[in-house]
């Protein structure tokens, strides 16, 4: 007789009466020890909710949870933790002022004599655990200094210290660069060999194909498929996720193929996505009025330098982008992408150099002024910068249009509601408009931000890591919006550490390395390999000639 | 199909029942103190709970107190909503009241309307300047407005007391007070012989006005967004600097108005220590009412009732002044502890649920 699966979920139903939503509808799922079990589905399909039930964060309305064949009651996260069920959230919570070791130990403090925190023991323990799994992280670093991917690793370390028997990861690779993904996967494989059951929530089918042993597909709160990876294909999983009842457009299919791991020749990939420009033209014509004079818009960075202490985090950056093109900027995190994002959104003032819009230097570096002159911006940090989690969804949606929705300083309630409803419908935001933003899933939060930033008159749109946590359909919608913007004559700047995304969407690609532009690649010369070489700093700055040629072309 | 993020599981267990529990706990402690601390517990209980309604004088004074608490509470709440803290309310009320009295005494022959408008206007202006300057310091140098407003106020209180007891003292009175203001500047009394006057109506108009400002106007929207997430407000092109200075100034202005009404309506003179902690109690009222302008109305009434009750118990029984003070302290403590703690350390909340 075989041992029972480590976790069995039976008829789990989760109903939220406050917004009349059934997030899980009689879901069954078995999680075996020593396997990596992928859980996939579109935004709002109920994946995170199901795992919140298993980890004790959310109470289910009905159903049974069995651990090692015995029924258990999980009323609080602590109940799940005592049974070895540990979840790392999509946006791990942390205390910004704390150091890494303090965050990791929250709740499992090592205490020395007199119940005082034993700092050196804690630091050693964390360093050992990190070394065992090949993670390099300074236990004494302050949390707010870490990149988003490092925060995920810190959260993961915290989970590992609890010696999990069931480890649940909610989109752990979303903010990671490729080497970090590789590191995380090797970590997961060694955990698996130690017998841990791992649940991996992800949107990236490529990752599912690479690492998972089993996959469960959810749609609209129900499980629509559960297969062993050897019996299925990426195309089949994608079809299950999207659902046969929905129209899968040409674009969807190509995108599915691309994401499902079509050969990474770069050009094939780019061709697949670029070839669908025509489908976006339809939406473009409907909103032609959006940027009437934008044909001649240019955005230029001239010798922009930003220092943090003595270190030039942006070092003499000169870049220009013309109307009607998508300029991709990529690189490995910590090489200046985040500072470029801050300069382009007016959040920081360059120590040297200027940003020019239509050839004129911008007057002030403030987000307010940048908005005023027509620069729109989708930030990497959605929770702190892109949204107000305690405000309602509607209040988040109207941020940029508050001036148009008022008469004599008074907001027109009906127009506010209609405006919010229109954006909600257009982007398929799942959620209730008058509820707090924090009730939405990660993907839906991004949809709110996108719909807000892309509505209205925009000369320049800066996207920073726009597709983290988005499902295929939303990604498709966003990509076609991005191309529509370009076709209308807006300047689109895409900052992303995801090479495939940048390759697929950009007309030109700038690669950053250590605060400098290591390379600027034209359409015909770009391949994953060349970008990789520039990202890692193998080649540098043989590109000045190309850049001048590029601006002449434009 | 909305997936719920982890944090939503414990939304501070919705603050209303918590506030009610705190009020009930405060009441319970009050009853215990009354029973234990009074030689005639039944009379003390009856005086405490029934006292404020026993005659027109007590009822009117309670309502008058509630009106002043409401205006000052609105001042506290508006600043809270913008994410700034005006901790100098008591001093702002005190000095504004003195300013109103001085203006009235300086122009005893002026027409009634002109005098009232001028006195009230100067009081509002002084309050607005005192608090607004703390907002300005925060905007310019990032000083903590909670500390600056408290310190400025703390320095002003003894100064005002000195002026009232010294240069401006009415030598004919046994009290430490200024000369009484001219009859014509006094606000119309509603329930004589109590202190209740027209200021209550002003308070009852201000609450819905503040509600409208916060929830129906663009400025109110911007103010609330700034209060909930400054970074998001900045990112959305809201002038967050303005929402640091202006709400502080409005808050100070409302405290100034409270001071003016206390002098023109209630006391008719600037008496030494006439605020009796009004500015601090207004903070408790704002917390009970969750900084919602309309909820502040019942909050101010409940607080004024409990305050009047302890006074009545003191006057009518052998219940001592100290015990009455202890009761008020208990009420204040229970409510601020329950409502303020999660607010003062919001950052600790999320890791607690998710770790």
Q: How far A451 CA sits from the closest chain B CA (Å)?
A: 14
User: Is the residue at A277 inside a domain?
Assistant: no
User: Are residue A142 and residue A215 in the same domain, yes or no?
Assistant: no
pLDDT reading at A442 higher than 70: yes
Mean pLDDT across A211-239:
86
pLDDT on residue A291 = 43
Q: Is the pLDDT of residue A277 over 60?
A: no
Q: Is residue A398 part of a domain?
A: no
Report yes or no on A270 lying in a domain. no
Alpha carbon distance A52, B62 (integer Å): 50
Identify the residue with better confidence: B48 or B263.
B263
Query: Is the Cα torsion angle A343, A345, A346, A347 positive or negative in sign?
Result: negative
Contacts of the segment A274-282: beta carbons below 8 A, 24+ positions apart? A274/A504, A274/A505, A276/A250, A276/A251, A276/A480, A276/A483, A277/A483, A277/A487, A279/A249, A279/A250, A279/A251, A279/A480, A280/A480, A280/A481, A280/A483, A280/A484, A280/A487, A281/A484, A281/A487
Q: What percent of chain B has pLDDT over 70?
A: 88
How is residue A310 written in tokens?
Answer: 């003595």
Range from A176-180, A249-253, B224-228 carrying the lowest mean pLDDT: A249-253
Q: pLDDT digits over B181-203, tens only?
A: 888 888 888 888 888 888 999 99
Nearest to B61 by CA among B266, B246, B220: B266
From CA A300, how far away is CA A517, in angstroms rounded? 14
Cβ of A439 within 8 Å of Cβ of B2? The answer is yes
Out of A163, A184, A203, pick the residue that ends a domain: A163
Please check whether residues A150 and A173 belong to one and the same domain. no
Shared-domain flag, residues A353 and A472: yes
What is the mean predicted confidence (pLDDT) over A334-339?
Answer: 85
The reply to whether B82 touches chain A by the CB within 8 Å rule is no
The HSE-up count of residue B23 (CA atoms within 13 Å, CB side) is: 21
pLDDT at A182 over 50: yes
Do A292 and A360 lie in one domain? The reply is: yes
Render A24-71 in DSSP notation, one character per residue.
EEEEEEEE-TT-EEEEEESTTSSHHHHHHHHTTSS--SEEEEEETTEE
Question: In chain A, what are the helix, strand and coil shares in percent, each to the nearest 5?
Answer: 40, 25, 35
Q: Are residues A184 and A150 in the same domain?
A: no
Residues B5, A94: C-beta atoms closer than 8 Å: no
Q: How confident is the model at residue B161 (pLDDT cuts 50, 70, 90)?
A: very high
**How many structural domains are present in chain A?**
3
Mutate to test the interface with A, among B3, B12, B233 (most CBs of A within 10 A): B3
The answer on pLDDT for B54 being more than 80 is yes
Question: Which of A21, A372, A388 comes nearest B225 by C-beta?
Answer: A388
Kindly identify which residue of chain A lies nearest to residue B237, measuring between CA atoms: A368
**Same domain? A213 vs A337:** no
| Interface check B236 vs A, CB under 8 A | yes
CB contact under 8 A, A220 and B355: no
Considering A249, A266, A301, which residue would you say is the last residue of a domain? A249
Tell me the two tokens of residue A353.
């150099």
Tell which A residues from 146 to 165 touch B, by Cβ distance under 8 Å: 158
pLDDT at position A252: 44
Asked if B224 has any chain A CB less than 8 Å from its own CB, the reply is yes
- Average pLDDT, rounded, for chain B: 84
Residue of B nearest to A412 (CA): B216
Indicate if the pLDDT at residue B44 is higher than 60: yes
pLDDT above 50: residue A280: no
A49–chain B Cβ distance below 8 A for any pair: yes
CB atoms B2 and A385 under 8 Å: no
A462 & A548 share domain: yes
Instruction: Work out the pLDDT band at B85, boundaries 50, 70, 90.
Output: very high
- Does residue B6 surpass a pLDDT of 60? no
Asked if residue A542 has pLDDT above 60, the reply is no
pTM: 0.71
Residues of B in contact with A432 (CB under 8 A): 2
Does position B228 have pLDDT exceeding 80, yes or no? yes
Find the mean pLDDT for residues B83-105: 93
Dihedral sign of CA atoms B51, B55, B57, B61 in order = positive
Name, in order, each residue with C-beta under 8 angstroms of B334's C-beta and a sequence gap of 6 or more.
B22, B23, B25, B26, B29
Q: Does A412 touch chain B (CB under 8 A)?
A: no
Handedness of CA A182, A187, A192, A197 (dihedral sign): negative
The set of residues, in sequence order, having a beta carbon less than 8 Å from that of A507 and lying 6+ positions away, is A325, A326, A327, A328, A486, A523
Look at the alpha carbons of B49, B50, B52, B53 in this order and tell me if their dihedral is positive or negative. positive
Q: Which residues of B touch A57 (CB under 8 A)?
A: 6, 9, 353-354
Angle at A512 between CA A509 and CA A513, to 5 degrees: 145
Is residue B256 situated within a structural domain?
Answer: yes
Between B263 and B175, the more confident residue is B263
**Cβ contact, residue pair A57, B9, below 8 Å:** yes
Instruction: Establish if A414 touches chain B: CB-CB under 8 angstroms.
Output: no
Name the A residues in 314-353 with CB < 8 Å from any B CB. Answer: 345, 347
In a domain, A269, yes or no: no
Q: Name which residue leads in pLDDT, B344 or B283.
A: B283
Beta strand pairing call for A508-513 and A491-495: unpaired
CA distances from A281 to A220, A287, A376, A463, A485 (A): 30, 10, 21, 20, 10
Distance in angstroms (rounded) separating the CA atoms of residues A79 and A77:
5
B352 CB-near residues (< 8 Å, 6+ apart): none
CA distance A346 to chain B (A): 9
Query: What pLDDT was estimated at residue A89?
Result: 85
Distance of CA B281 to the CA centre of its chain: 5
Q: Average pLDDT in the A58-71 region?
A: 89
Residue pLDDT, tens place only, A480-523: 888 888 888 889 999 988 777 888 888 888 988 888 888 888 87
Report the pLDDT value the prediction gives residue A117, as an integer from 0 to 100: 65
Query: Is B12 within the bounds of a domain?
Result: no
**A209 and B CB contact within 8 Å:** no
What's the CATH code of the domain at A185?
A: 3.40.50.300
Q: Which CATH number characterizes residue B79's domain? A: 1.10.3470
pLDDT for the residue numbered A42: 77
Domain contains A429: no
Buried b / exposed e over A263-295, threshold 16 CB at 10 Å, is eeebeebbebbbebeeebeebbeebeebbeebe
On whether residue B26 sits in a domain, the answer given is no
Q: Is residue A452 part of a domain?
A: no
Please state, in angstroms and as integers, the Cα–Cα distance from residue B272 to each residue in A519, B169, B252, B285, following that order: 75, 10, 21, 24
Smallest Cβ–Cβ distance between B351 and the set A16, A90, A94 belongs to A94
Would the pLDDT of B292 be above 50?
yes
CB-CB neighbors (< 8 A) of A162 in chain B = none
In this model, does residue B253 exceed pLDDT 90?
Answer: yes
How close is the nearest chain B Cα to the Cα of A425, in Å? 15
Q: Is residue B4 part of a domain?
A: no
pLDDT band at A537 (very low <50, low <70, confident <90, very high): low
Residue of A nearest to B214 (CA): A410
pLDDT in tens, A116-161: 667 777 788 888 888 887 788 888 888 777 777 788 888 888 888 8
Distance CA B118, CA B195 (A): 22
Cβ-Cβ contacts under 8 Å, B224 against chain A? 391, 395
- Of A118, A146, A163, the residue at which a domain comes to its end is A163
Cβ distance of A57 and B351 shorter than 8 Å = no
Assign B4 a pLDDT band (cuts: 50, 70, 90). very low
- Decide if pLDDT at A384 tops 60: yes
| Strands A7-16 vs A70-72: parallel, antiparallel or unpaired | unpaired
Supply the DSSP symbol for A4: P
Model confidence pLDDT, tens digit, residues B113-151: 898 999 999 999 999 999 999 999 999 998 999 999 999
Which is nearest to B234 in space by CA: A487, A274, A379?
A: A379
SS3 sequence of B195-260: CCECHHHHHHHHHHHHHHHHHHEHHHHHHHHHHHCHHHHHHCCCCCCHHHHHHHHHHHHHHHHHHH
> Do A120 and A186 sit in the same domain of this protein?
no
Is A435 a domain residue? no
Contacts of B227 in chain A (CB under 8 A): none
Q: Percent of chain A at pLDDT above 70?
A: 84
Whether residues A74 and A182 fall in one domain: yes
Contact: B236, A399; criterion CB under 8 Å: yes
pLDDT given at position A116:
61
Whether residues A32 and A173 share a domain: the answer is: yes
Give the range of the structural domain holding residue A131, as residue numbers without chain letter: 94-163
Which residues, at least 6 apart from A189, have a Cβ–Cβ distance to it below 8 Å? A36, A211
- Number of domains composing chain B: 1
Please name the residue of chain B whose CA is at the shortest distance from the CA of residue A92: B354
Tell me if B38 is assigned to some domain. Answer: no
In a domain, A300, yes or no: yes
Per-residue pLDDT at B67 exceeds 90: yes
Whether residue A216 sits in one domain with residue A291? no
Q: Is the pLDDT of residue A278 over 50?
A: no
- DSSP string for residues in A137-158: --TTSBGGGS-HHHHHHHHHHH
Of A195-199, A475-479, A480-484, which has the strongest mean pLDDT? A195-199
Q: Can you tell me the distance from the alpha carbon of A185 to that of A153, in angstroms, rounded to the nearest whole number?
A: 12
Which of A442-451, A506-515, B74-83 is the most confident on average? B74-83
- Answer whether A47 sits within 8 Å of B3, measured CB to CB: yes
Domain identity same for A159 and A174 = no
Two tokens, residue B176: 């430490």
- Using DSSP's 3-state secondary structure scheme, residue B92 falls into helix
3-class secondary structure, A511: strand
- Write out chain A residues lying below 8 Å of B213, CB-based: none
List CB contacts (< 8 A) between B139 and chain A.
Answer: none
Domain that holds residue B310: 54-334
Q: Suggest the residue from A402, A419, A442 to mutate for an interface test with chain B (most B CBs closer than 10 A).
A: A402
- DSSP for residue B97: H
């Amino acid at each position: 007789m075989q041992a029972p699966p480590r976790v069995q979920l039976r008829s789990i139903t989760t109903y939220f009466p406050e917004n009349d939503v059934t997030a899980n509808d009689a879901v069954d799922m078995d999680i075996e020890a020593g396997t990596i079990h992928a859980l996939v589905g579109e935004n709002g399909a109920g994946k995170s909710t199901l795992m919140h039930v298993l980890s004790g964060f959310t109470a289910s309305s009905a159903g049974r949870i069995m651990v090692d064949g015995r029924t258990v009651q999980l009323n609080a996260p602590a109940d799940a933790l005592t049974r070895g069920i540990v979840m790392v959230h999509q946006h791990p919570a942390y205390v910004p002022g704390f150091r890494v070791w303090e965050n990791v130990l929250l709740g499992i403090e090592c205490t020395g004599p007199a119940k005082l925190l034993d700092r050196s023991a804690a630091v050693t323990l964390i360093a050992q655990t990190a070394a065992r799994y090949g993670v390099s992280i300074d236990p004494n670093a302050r949390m707010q200094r870490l990149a988003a991917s490092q925060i995920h690793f810190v959260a993961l370390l915290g989970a590992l210290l609890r010696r999990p028997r069931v480890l649940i990861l909610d989109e752990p690779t979303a903010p990671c660069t490729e080497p970090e993904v590789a590191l995380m996967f090797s970590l997961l494989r060694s955990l698996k060999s130690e017998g841990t059951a791992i649940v991996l929530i992800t949107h990236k089918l490529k990752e599912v194909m690479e690492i998972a042993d089993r996959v469960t597909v959810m749609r609209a709160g129900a499980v629509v498929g559960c297969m062993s990876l050897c019996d299925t294909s990426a195309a089949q999983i994608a079809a299950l996720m999207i659902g046969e009842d929905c129209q899968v457009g040409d674009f969807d299919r190509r995108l599915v193929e691309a994401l499902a791991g079509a050969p990474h020749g770069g050009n094939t990939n780019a061709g697949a996505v670029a070839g669908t420009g025509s489908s976006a033209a339809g939406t473009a014509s409907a909103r032609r009025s959006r940027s009437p004079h934008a044909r001649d818009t240019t955005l230029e960075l001239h010798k922009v330098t930003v220092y943090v202490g003595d270190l030039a985090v942006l070092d003499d950056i000169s870049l220009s982008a013309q109307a009607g093109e998508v300029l991709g900027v990529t690189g490995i995190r910590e090489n200046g992408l985040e500072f470029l994002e801050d300069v382009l959104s007016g959040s920081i003032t360059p120590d040297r150099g200027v940003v020019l819009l239509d050839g004129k230097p911008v007057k002030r570096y403030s987000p307010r002024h940048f908005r005023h002159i027509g620069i729109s911006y989708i930030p990497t940090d959605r929770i702190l910068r892109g949204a107000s989690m305690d405000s309602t969804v509607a209040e988040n949606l109207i941020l940029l249009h508050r001036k148009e929705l008022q008469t004599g300083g008074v907001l027109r309630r009906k127009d506010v509601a209609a405006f919010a409803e229109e954006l909600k419908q257009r982007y398929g935001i799942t959620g209730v408009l008058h509820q707090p933003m924090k009730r939405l899933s990660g993907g839906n939060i991004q949809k709110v931000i996108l719909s807000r930033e892309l509505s209205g008159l925009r000369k320049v749109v800066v996207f920073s890591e726009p597709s983290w946590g988005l499902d295929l359909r939303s990604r498709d919608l966003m990509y076609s919006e991005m191309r529509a913007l370009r076709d209308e004559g807006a300047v689109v700047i895409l900052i992303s550490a995801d090479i495939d995304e940048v390759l697929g969407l950009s007309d030109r690609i700038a690669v950053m390395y250590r605060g400098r532009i290591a390379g600027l690649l034209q359409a015909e010369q770009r391949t994953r390999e060349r970008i990789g070489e520039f990202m890692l700093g193998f080649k540098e700055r043989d590109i000045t000639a190309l850049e001048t040629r590029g601006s002449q072309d434009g | 199909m909305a997936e719920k993020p982890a944090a939503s599981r414990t939304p501070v267990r919705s603050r209303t029942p918590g506030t009610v529990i705190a009020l009930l706990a405060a009441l319970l402690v009050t009853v215990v103190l009354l029973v234990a601390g009074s030689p005639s517990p039944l009379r003390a209980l009856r005086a405490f709970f029934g006292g404020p309604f026993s005659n027109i004088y007590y009822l009117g004074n309670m309502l008058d107190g509630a009106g002043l608490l409401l205006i000052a509470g609105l001042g506290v709440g508006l600043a809270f909503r913008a994410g700034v803290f005006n901790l100098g309310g008591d001093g702002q009320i005190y000095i504004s009241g003195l300013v109103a009295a001085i203006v009235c005494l300086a122009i005893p022959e002026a027409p009634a309307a002109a005098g009232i408008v001028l006195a009230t206007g100067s009081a509002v202006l002084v309050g607005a300047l005192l608090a607004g300057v703390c907002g300005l310091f925060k905007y310019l140098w990032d000083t903590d407005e909670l500390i600056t407003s408290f310190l400025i106020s703390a320095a002003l209180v003894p100064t005002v007391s000195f002026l009232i007891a010294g240069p401006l003292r009415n030598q004919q009175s046994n009290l430490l007070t200024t000369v009484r203001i001219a009859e014509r500047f006094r606000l119309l009394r509603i329930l004589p012989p109590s202190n209740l006057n027209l200021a209550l109506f002003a308070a009852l108009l201000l609450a819905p006005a503040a509600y409208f400002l916060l929830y129906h106007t663009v400025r109110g929207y911007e103010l609330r967004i700034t209060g909930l997430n400054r970074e998001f407000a900045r990112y959305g092109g809201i002038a967050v600097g303005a929402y640091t200075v202006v709400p502080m100034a409005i808050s100070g202005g409302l405290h100034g108005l409270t001071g003016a009404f206390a002098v023109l309506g209630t006391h008719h003179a600037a008496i030494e220590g006439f605020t009796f902690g009004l500015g601090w109690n207004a903070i408790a009222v704002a917390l009970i009412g969750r900084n919602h302008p309309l909820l502040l109305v019942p909050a101010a009434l409940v607080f004024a009732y409990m305050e009047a009750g302890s006074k009545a118990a003191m006057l009518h029984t052998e219940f001592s002044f100290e015990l009455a003070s202890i009761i008020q302290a208990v009420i204040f403590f229970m409510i601020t502890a329950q409502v303020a703690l999660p607010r003062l350390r919001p950052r600790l909340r999320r890791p607690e649920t998710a770790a």
